[in-house]
Amino acid sequence: MSHFAPVALHQASRLINHGPTVLVTSAHGGRANVMAAAWSMPVEFTPPRIAVVIDKKTYTRELIAASGAFGICLPGAALAALTFAVGSTSGYDEDKIARHGIQTRPGPVLGMPVIEQGCAAWLECRLIPEPHTQDAYDTCFAEVVAAAADARIFASGRWDYRDDNTELQTIHHLGAGNFVRAGGVVRGAA
């Protein structure tokens, strides 16, 4: 049973506000791929826009160029090994989705493959063509057109990190396959 529920678009940027490592999913013409990306960030709340760095040599970039869209999925801590694995091989060399038995479903607006099992949330994104930044910095801007999250960890527009949902908590790549899991909540507001 899926615990996923839609996230309002004006709250979608919050899903990556804290810098999680993400899985980038892509598809075109019957082919699909998944890769890991440590480098992404929101750039605007309304309209919800993000930026993500995707190397121009990747199969993902080829599929995004063809479809003009991609998915962003947030792996929970239980998917750390899978995240590292799909970040270490190329879709040019193997069908990573089949190899790892990853279950995807089509996103509601663009049909991009999104992953729910083991993930905390996903965002379906339409590329905003910016040839210069794509070329010079491998930086792809996109508008978020749909989003959803597992209600056990993100509900009513807010993250809720608790002792009983550690497997869904986002992971943040330190390098060399080591991630930190988001841990204790620190309150900065008075």
What number of other Cβ atoms are within 10 A of residue 8's Cβ?
Answer: 11
Least distance in Å: CB of 124 to a second copy? 19
User: Please, which residue, 98 or 187, has the CB nearer to a second copy?
Assistant: 187
163 touching a second copy, by CB under 8 A: no
* CB 29 to a second copy: min, Å: 29
Q: Bridge partners of 172?
A: 180
Half-sphere exposure of 93 (CA within 13 A, CB side): 8
- CA dist., res. 75 & res. 102, Å (int): 12
126-145: contacts with a second copy (CB under 8 A): 130, 132-133, 137-139, 141
Amino acid at residue number 146: A
Local structure of 1: helix, strand or coil: coil
> At its nearest, how many Å lie between a second copy and the CB of residue 111?
26
Residues 6+ apart with CB under 8 A from 130: 139, 140, 141
**Cβ contact 51:40 at 8 Å:** yes
- Provide the minimum distance between the beta carbon of 166 and a second copy in the complex, in angstroms, as a whole number: 8
Candidate residues 14, 27, 91, 116; the one interacting with a second copy per rule CB under 8 A: 14
Among the listed residues 17, 46, 89, 103, the single contact to a second copy using CB under 8 A: 17
Interface stretch with a second copy, choices 40-48, 63-71, 99-107, 144-152 (CB under 8 A): 40-48
Q: How far apart are CA 155 and CA 49, in angstroms?
A: 20
Residue 57 in contact with a second copy, rule: CB under 8 A: no
> Residue 136: helix, strand or coil by DSSP?
helix
| Nearest residue (CB) to a second copy, 21 versus 33 | 21
Sites of contact with a second copy (CB under 8 A): 14, 17-21, 38-44, 49, 51, 53, 77, 80-85, 130, 132-133, 137-139, 141, 157-159, 161, 171-190
